[in-house]
Amino acid sequence: MILTVTPNPSLDRTYEVPALDRGEVLRATAERMDPGGKGVNVSRAVAAAGRRTVAVLPLGGAPGALVAELLAEQGIEVVPVPVAGATRSNIALAEPDGTLTKINAPGPELTAAESEALLSTIRERIHATGTRADGPGGASGEDASGDAFSPDAPSPDAEPSTPTWIACCGSLPRGLAPEWYAELVARAHRAGARIALDTSGPSLLAALRERPDVVKPNAEELAEAVGRPLTTVGDAVKAAEELRTYGAGSVLASLGADGQLLVSAEGTYFGSATVASVRSNVGAGDASLAGFLAAGGEGPAALASAVAHGAAAVQLPGSVMPSPGDLDLSAVTVTADVPLDRLLTEPAP
């Protein structure tokens, strides 16, 4: 079971437009409305594979109620923490060539009491999930179609009752200090849980001192964390190794179209996949993290699962999360022979 934490969730509206012409009236050819936020997307990807997931998130106002409703429709157990401010609404404009323009709202400002309520709720859910054995979709010991993220994923019957992982993802809303994630990692570790952290900037650096088990930056976030540009895969490897010296157990780094890196005590691996066309990259990194964690959260097999999920996600509309039928592991290559001199398609400043 994977528990996700999304401190700044959103209601995401995606419009597909023929072209983005500034100052003109744009007519969408398609539209979608999805619950958003990095942790929310991880839960959606886990649920799409028929596995149990619990999403803890602060929700407020009509947008928050709609986020909870949309998640429940996808079979996700929602644990809302009520807040006074309304949950933010985001807009994404997707063009035919894959270009995506996003407008992200700031979201509500959480009070000190709401911050503590969120931390306390997470702790309670860690202990609560340890009271029952859950297989896919919350059914104890029952099998389900599409129940595995990869051939190496553990069988549903062997899924532990306590959270396999806690995925803490996304930006922090106003009112939460950069050290908030560090406090969450410390409390989760004391409760015996493993933490995967997907955030950036001061929040990432502050949390590293509490030694999260996995961190998942993209190339730009990785460059920001080490304070220097990345132009090659080798640059990214060195930056990931530096994050490990700061406290990260493993680093799963997304390098966009170039692939993904896994740098850990076990070794360094590079994974890539063939993608026919890119429709939308919204949530692709979140799908990758879900695939990585559900396949065990370590080693080359988990990296292959992450790459397969990311590749499948970019070929789907909006922030649709891939199901097992969308995955193509045969298109994935994972190697310990990392192409260190390869130039990044999009260098990270």
Catalytic residues: 286
Whole-angstrom distance, CA of residue 336 vs CA of residue 270: 6
| Residues 184-204 as b or e (16 or more Cβ within 10 Å = b) | bbbbbbebebbbbbbbbeebb
Contact between 149 and 293 under an 8 Å Cβ cutoff? The reply is no
C-alpha torsion sign, points 75, 81, 84, 90: negative
**φ, ψ (nearest 5 deg) of residue 326:** -85, -15
Q: Any residues with CB less than 8 A from the CB of 283 and at least 6 apart, and which?
A: 36, 41, 44, 45, 313, 319, 320, 321
For 328, the 3-state DSSP assignment is coil
* Token pair recorded at residue 44: 């959606």
C-beta separation of 53 from 3 below 8 A = yes
Q: CA-CA distance, 180 to 174, in Å (whole number)? A: 11
| H or E segment and range at residue 16 | strand 10-16
**Nearest Cα residue to 241 out of 251, 231, 233:** 251
The residue type at 55: A
Task: Find all residues with CB under 8 Å of 116, minimum gap 6, and list them.
Answer: none
Token representation of residue 184: 């969450």
> For the chain, give me the number of helices (H) and strands (E)?
9, 16
How many other CB atoms sit within 10 Å of the CB of residue 235? 21
